[in-house]
Amino acid sequence: MRITETNDQSGVSRPPQPDYPLFLTMHGKNALVVGGGPVAERRVSGLLESGARVTVVSPWLTEGLKDLADRQQIIWSPRDFQPSDLADVWLVHTCTGDSDVDETVVTTAEALKIWSVRAGAADHSPAWTAATEHSEDGVQFAVNAGRDPRRAIALRNFMTELAAEGALPLRRSRPGPGRVFLVGGGPGDPDLLTVRARRLLSLADVVVTDRLAPIRALDRLDDDVQIIDVGKAPGKHSLPQQEINDLLVEHAVAGQIVVRLKGGDPFVLGRGGEEALHCLQSGVDVEIVPGVSSAMSVPAAAGIPVTHRGASDSFMVLSSHSGAADVVRRAGSTPTDTTLIMLMGVRDLKDTTTGLITAGRDPLTPAAIVAAGWTTQQATIRAPLSEIAEKAEVTGIASPAVVVVGPVAALRDDIGDLGKPSIRAGHGAIN
């Protein structure tokens, strides 16, 4: 067949628009690329990704194509095009840049009823490629913009960005392989979720969450997405860790996409390693998606850098779940300018501060507690190490909170809250 121009009612000659968009399965089929330049390299890349057997006909090749030929991933015929090259070929791309050669390839292919794509001359090509993008979850975007490739690419890029942000309805409607994603949700503000975290939430069939995760980020999920709260609170465990592990595997084996949404980062005192190992040992695919750790981000929201030139060049992150004695044992021998960051440390704070002072920390060492960081309930108190526990009791500040001990805590007095505008306006502030 031959593409010809048609006249509309106005009498203006226009190229015909495609009216039969189609995806081709090229796996195991022969494809021919005529030309050896950068455009040919892009065409070859796409064909190889589709599983096609590719032959390139050109007197010369780009370095990338030459490398593919050396590794025998393509067949290279180092000469000009010949009609015999079309034997047993399903699809042809011609991109020599020589209009006469490209026209010859197209004309010869048409005579043999073989579809051909002519690069750089869409108005004279029997077929043409759309601007495409493959997503990891099996969705492919293909945009055709009336033979305007730049416009198609711009639209494709826009859709890709929306998909990456979880703003497109890409969740599966048919069963598929199950998988677990261990996703760090950051310190609490949904705006601090990574782009990848947002995307995976939009694809999830099941979300297993805890109380420190950014729960408001779940408001936009479909009504039939199952949300399971396994959150732990001080002195209260809704589900033992082993049961959480089993829950992840159970839903993934049932063919569901499972997002384990945690506060902070899954691998920073989040038991993400335990969950990952259990999934792998159970034969379930699992992927880690890091998040913004509360150990650094919550102090930052209150104007406390965990390191600062001239004050501290190191920090230690500690979990207070094991008790004050264990915290003191681990932190007592650290240099006095090392910033101590204690998660969930309010309950045993009096015993912890007393132990640190006994171990050699100056009672006047600056200390701070930042509670509910990056939320509208954020609260911060500042006092010397010897007084911080008493001030915490008087003000009633409570978990979830991060305790900071070290010279950097004093910077809070000069910098102040650096979190959301609602926090800077004074909501939840304890001075």
List the beta strands (DSSP E) in 126-231. 131-134, 140-143, 179-184, 206-209, 226-229
State how far the Cα of 4 lies from the Cα of 10, in Å rounded to an integer. Answer: 17
- Residues with Cβ within 8 Å of 91's Cβ and at least 6 positions away in sequence, in order, are 24, 26, 29, 31, 32, 47, 52, 114, 115, 116, 117
Q: Are 357 and 386 in contact (CB under 8 A)?
A: yes
* Bond into 299 cis (ω within 30): no
Q: Are 280 and 273 in contact (CB under 8 A)?
A: no
State how far the Cα of 316 lies from the Cα of 319, in Å rounded to an integer. Answer: 10
Could you list the active site residues? 210, 232
Pairing of strands 115-118, 91-94: parallel
- Residues with Cβ within 8 Å of 396's Cβ and at least 6 positions away in sequence, in order, are none
Q: Which residues pair with 206 in a beta bridge?
A: 226, 258
**What's the CA angle centered on 146, arms 140 and 151, to 5 degrees?**
70
